[in-house]
Amino acid sequence: MTALSHHVGRDPALPDPTAPLTATGNLRRRVAVSRLISILATASAVFAVALLFNVAYTVIQKGAPAISFSFLTQNSSGLAGGGIANALLGTIVLVAFGALIALPIGVLTGLYLTEFASPTSRFGNALKLVLDLLQGLPTIIVGVVVYGLLVASQHLETGFAGGIALAIVMLPMIARSSQEVLLLVPNSMREAADALGVERWRTVTGIILPAAAGGIATGAILSIARAAGETAPLLLVDSIYNPTQTQLNLFGHGVPSIPMFIYTTYDLPTTSALTRAWGAALVLLTAILAANVGARFLLARSRAKMGAR
């Protein structure tokens, strides 16, 4: 067949079969636009990651010189120096107290939404709206509210008020994430239990909660990590305390915390104080990012487990 060869004259309306396969004209423009968008999107992702690394690098670079064994184990001595041991313990106590309140209420609220409220239930839908509104609440308002509720009457800032404020911050996160995870539990499990005549509360405590435990724990860890870094509410209800003392009792006085330590130490007029503030920031950021990574692994594992059933 020599009909397609160059030597023979061919119909000029047909495309040249020997032409290289590259786009021309309109298609060329469309491909170029598409490629430009791809490049822009990739650059945006690179930029977002670079932002994270820039913040992390800044915190490490400015905070690492402060990190030492004594920085973690000594109490702060105000302007003179010292460590963050009491602030660290205070944050742990505050967050634990907040979680102790928010965790049961949050998980039970999630259970109510998935196990008891029908999709058309008026209270159930109102509750979902309430949780969304609580989650969208600026945390400074939580501080204002707890101030009005617990601090204003006696003008006494307490760790108790701080813990309650953190509980209000955590509650909607825990409730919403519990609800989401509980929805992932296959309905066939509930139906199987119903078919066997198992009472609803036994189904919930014996089958549904164990199946969802990993996911609920993930939500709890994420909300705890979030609460540990909250500054705004603590600034209003738990910022007056003796910065050099360890306070493990939440009542009657303020309890020191890492975010408040960072916030107040940064403003002290010495460079060593500045380094200590960044050092505390490094400790806090490391803990929070580690908690996030851990929560992710936990979630992936529990998802895999649920899928395997």
Partner 1 sequence: MSSRARPRFRLPALPAGRAGQSAGAGTGDRVLYGLCALAGLLAALVLIEVVYQVIHGAGPSISHFGIGFLGHSAWAPNFGIFGAAAAIYGTVLSSLMALIIATPLGIAVALYLSMMAPPAVRTIVGPLVEMLAAIPSVIVGFWGVDVLSPFAARHLQPFLHSVLGFIPLFGPPQTTGLSVFSAGLVLTLMILPIVAALSRDLFLTVPTELTEGAEALGATRWEIIRGVVLPTTASGVAAATVLGLGRALGEAIAVLQVIGDGAGIHSSLFLPGISLASRIANEFQTPDNKLDIPSLFYLALILLAIGLTTSVLARWIAGRFDVHRTLA
* Residues 2-31 contacting partner 1, CB under 8 A: 30-31
- Residue choice 33, 79, 80, 100 for contact with partner 1 (CB under 8 A): 33
130 binds partner 1 (CB under 8 A): yes
Instruction: Provide the angle, in degrees to the nearest 10, between the axes of the packed helices 85-111 and 258-265.
Output: 130
| Site map (CB under 8 A) of partner 1, residues 180-209, x = contact | x-------------x--xxxxxx-xx----
Instruction: Provide the angle, in degrees to the nearest 10, between the axes of the packed helices 25-63 and 271-308.
Output: 120
165 binds partner 1 (CB under 8 A): no
Contact 107, 174 (CB under 8 A): yes
User: Please, which residue, 66 or 113, has the CB nearer to partner 1?
Assistant: 113
- Enter the tokens of residue 74: 């000594």
Please state, in angstroms and rounded to a whole number, the distance separating the CA atoms of residues 93 and 125.
34
Q: Which stretch binds partner 1 (CB under 8 A): 9-17, 71-79, 86-94, 121-129?
A: 121-129
Residue 24 CB, nearest distance to partner 1 (Å)? 15
Binding to partner 1, residues 48-107 (CB under 8 A)? 48-49, 51-52, 54-55, 58-59, 62, 104-106
Burial 102-122 (b: 16+ CB within 10 A, else e): bbeebbebbbbbbeebeeeee
Binding to partner 1, residues 219-278 (CB under 8 A)? 219, 222, 225-226, 228-232, 235-236, 239-240, 259, 262-263, 266, 277-278
Residue 70 CB, nearest distance to partner 1 (Å)? 23
37 binds partner 1 (CB under 8 A): yes
Contact 240, 225 (CB under 8 A): no
- Residue choice 140, 156, 213, 217 for contact with partner 1 (CB under 8 A): 140
Please state, in angstroms and rounded to a whole number, the distance separating the CA atoms of residues 282 and 159.
24
10 Å CB burial of residue 253 (0-12, 13-18, 19+) is middle
